[in-house]
Amino acid sequence: MLQESLKCFDGLSKFAIRRAALLISLVIASPVFAQTASEITPESFTPPLQRLDGALALSRQSGGQAPAGLENIGITISAVDLTDPLPQMADANDAFVERLTRGRIPASELFDATSDLEAAYAEAGFVLTRVVLPQQTVRDGGRIRVVVVNGYIEAIDTQNLPPEVQKRVERLTQGLINRRGLTRTELERQLLLSGDVPGTALRSGLTAGSAPGSTVIGLDAEYQRVTGFAGFGNPTGPELGRLNLELGGELNSALGQGETFYGRISGNYKGFFSGDPRSRILAAGVVYPVGRSGTYVNIEATSSDTTPDEVPATRSDFDRLSLRLIHPLTRGRQLNVTGQLAVDMQKDDQSLLGGAQVYEDQLTILRAGVSLTYLHMDQAFSSASLFLSRGLDALGARTLADVGAGTPLSRAGADAIFTKLSGSLSHRRALSERIGLAVFGRFQSSFGDPLLTSEQFSLIGSQEVSTMDSGTLRGDGGWVLRSEVSTSYPISVAGRNFQISPYLFAGAGQAILENPTVLEQARTKAVFYGIGMDLFSNTNSLFRSSSLRIEYGRGERDDGIPDENRFSISGSVRF
């Protein structure tokens, strides 16, 4: 009897093991079981490090004005004594001399040519240089003396700056003082970097100094020690709860070093404070400046958990520790190029609720990339980025060779050692006074290799495929392209001013899976289209704003998953 019972128990144990193995294999292989913690976690929570607005005020009159009546007096100049010209401006200097010595000219042209030469210097970037026609007696057929004053910054007035940011701004700008031959590019870079100090909206102006050719920069700023935002949206499916709430805040320059500490909380309210939340993302970090060149070090920790309402019941956890070095290679009003080097240490695992572990990934990833923004002369705006990521067998990474008979990795054939290339682009422009066009695109290549779940490419996003639930269309590589055509006009509601912007959108994309299972499709194509509306508040503050986006659209795909019509709404208030 005992022997029969043992046989029965042994049979049940083998059945339970086989059943658990089957469930695990289904969870890993099936695209239906979506929205794990890593799949809904953004790549970074770092606050924007650059302000892409602002202006440099040049409040000095350029050149001298010709006295009235000189245009009626002719004069011949035999030679021009041009004192201290910049050798970089040789062509403009020669053209100036040739203009004044070409023959009989109106006497007023002496002043006009001097002003034009100063403008040429400014156009070449030497905005502090002055071309002066000193007082002298000029005889017909004689010589004329013109002096090029190599301008410089005499002082930078920071007394109107808040004490929390004054030290950092002075450190960024002190290298400008008493530098001869300072160009517009060098001047703009340091002033714009000063305006990038967290919590600061900087205003600057140039006025004449006490000595010939000298300039004083006056700085003023609006400062806010604490900034933050609150928002809501419905990006996820019913498994993770339709309503997603988020809250974030920044503590800006509290130490007086130009640093910012930040935190982010988001997720569904169901079970948010429990051990098995429906969805929850927590992130905290610090951005700290290094030196006077605009370099920042960013340290960020992220913890994300999901317990989808689906069968079989699972729980997933994603933890990431990031160290990033960010440097502005070019900083200007028109062109900005930023380089970034980062190391991410990630742990991603999923388990059957109260049961066996489905998969466990541990990765160490080195990332290097560059991003740029460009403001066109017609006020169109373009941006692009390109990042190369390499998985390393270091700092606790769990490679395919380490798995053995233990818990598998999240995807069959994938490894913690990998290489991928990802990029993005966007372009916005006005087609007419009322009509605007926006184009967004992203891509990723895994160079033919499968990737672990946390490194896969998702096509879902508010500026990409917005007609499907987050995490439901992804691959090892792929691409997505979206375009929007919008109009915009002001409205007033209850005495408050808003900008309303209805739009039409359409796009397409493709998710590529390497080494797909029998339940997966190697290439999944999708198209999407719909209508929407943006609503923006018009405030007088650079720190306060609010927005609302409402959208209805349809997404169609060719992998057998039903097409869907989706209503999306999201909003945020920044304070």
Looking up residue 93, the CATH number of its domain turns out to be 3.10.20.310
Are 135 and 163 part of one and the same domain?
no
Looking at residue 478, its pLDDT comes to 97
Provide DSSP, 157-218: EEEES-HHHHHHHHHHHGGGBT-TT--HHHHHHHHHHHHTSTTEEEEEEEEE-SSTTEEEEE
DSSP run (H or E) holding 10: helix 2-29
Same domain, 120 and 170: no
Reference 244, options 278, 285, 284, 283; nearest CA is: 278
CB-CB contact of 168 with 175 (8 Å)? no
Q: What is the 3-state secondary structure (H, E, C) of 312-359?
A: CCEEEEEEEEEEEEEEEEEECCCEEEEEEEEEEEEEEEEEECCCCEEE
Looking at the structure, do residues 137 and 75 belong to the same domain, yes or no? yes
Token pair 């007096």: residue = 73
Token pair in block for residue 548: 């609302």
Indicate which CATH number applies to the domain containing 215: 3.10.20
- If you search the block for the tokens 């040519």, which residue do you land on? 113
CB distance 477 to 545 below 8 Å:
no
Tell me the one-letter amino acid at 336: N
pLDDT of residue 23: 44
Q: How far is 1 from 155, CA to CA, in rounded Å?
A: 99
What CA–CA distance (Å, rounded) separates 400 from 515?
15
Q: Are residues 166 and 134 in the same domain?
A: no
The per-residue pLDDT for 283 is: 98
pLDDT number for residue 69: 63
Would you mind telling me the total number of residues written for the chain in this entry?
A: 575
pLDDT reported for residue 52: 66
Query: Does 129 share its domain with 168?
Result: no
Number of domains in the chain: 2
According to the 3-state scheme, what is the secondary structure of 31-90? Answer: CCCCCCHHHHCCCCCCCCCCCCCCCEEECCCCCCCCCCCHHHCEEECCEEEEECCCHHHH
Residue 509 near residue 424 (C-beta atoms within 8 A): no
> Which letter does DSSP use for residue 523 in this model?
E
> Is there a single domain that holds both residue 67 and residue 145?
yes
pLDDT at 134: 87
Q: Of the candidates 96, 77, 74, which has an alpha carbon nearest to the alpha carbon of residue 85?
A: 96
This prediction's pTM: 0.83
Same domain, 104 and 173: no
| pLDDT for res 484 | 98
Is the bond preceding 106 in cis, omega lying within 30 degrees of 0? no
The verdict on 162 and 144 lying in the same domain is: no
Same domain assignment for residues 119 and 200: no
For residues 73 and 122, membership in a common domain is answered with: yes
Residue of 568, 467, 566, 480 whose CA lies nearest to 524: 480
For residues 437 and 506, what is the distance between their CA atoms, to the nearest angstrom?
12
449 part of a folded domain: no
Strands (E), 225-259: 226-233, 244-252
Please report whether residue 79 resides in a domain: yes
Per-residue pLDDT of the chain (575 residues; tens, 9 = 90+): 434 443 443 443 443 444 444 444 444 444 444 478 898 899 999 998 887 655 444 444 444 566 666 777 888 999 999 998 999 999 999 999 999 999 988 888 888 999 999 999 988 888 888 888 888 888 888 899 999 988 889 999 999 999 999 999 999 999 999 988 888 889 889 999 999 999 998 888 878 788 878 889 999 988 999 999 999 999 988 889 889 999 999 999 999 999 999 999 999 998 899 888 999 999 999 999 999 999 999 999 999 999 988 888 889 999 999 999 999 999 998 999 999 999 999 999 999 987 888 999 999 999 999 999 999 999 999 999 999 999 999 999 999 989 888 899 999 899 999 999 999 999 999 999 899 999 999 999 999 999 999 999 999 999 999 999 888 899 999 999 999 999 998 988 877 888 999 999 999 999 999 999 888 899 999 999 999 999 998 877 778 889 999 999 999 999 888 888 999 999 999 98
Q: Looking at the domain assignment, is residue 130 inside a domain?
A: yes
Burial (Cβ within 10 Å: 0-12, 13-18, ≥19) of residue 358: buried
Task: Note whether residue 347 is domain-resident.
Answer: no
Last residue of a domain, one of 118, 149, 180: 149
Query: Could you say which DSSP state residue 563 is in?
Result: P
On whether both 101 and 161 belong to a single domain, the answer is no
* Same domain, residue pair 98 and 180: no
Q: Tell me whether residue 529 is in a domain.
A: no
**Residue 463 maps to a domain:** no
* Range(s) of the domain holding residue 163: 153-223
Whether 248 is in a domain gets the answer no
Domain boundary among 164, 197, 223: 223
Sheet holding 143-149, edge to edge: 79-83, 143-149, 130-132
pLDDT at position 65 is 62
149, 167, 199: which is the final residue of a domain?
149
In a domain? residue 137: yes
Closest of 6, 155, 148, 19 to residue 80, by C-alpha: 148
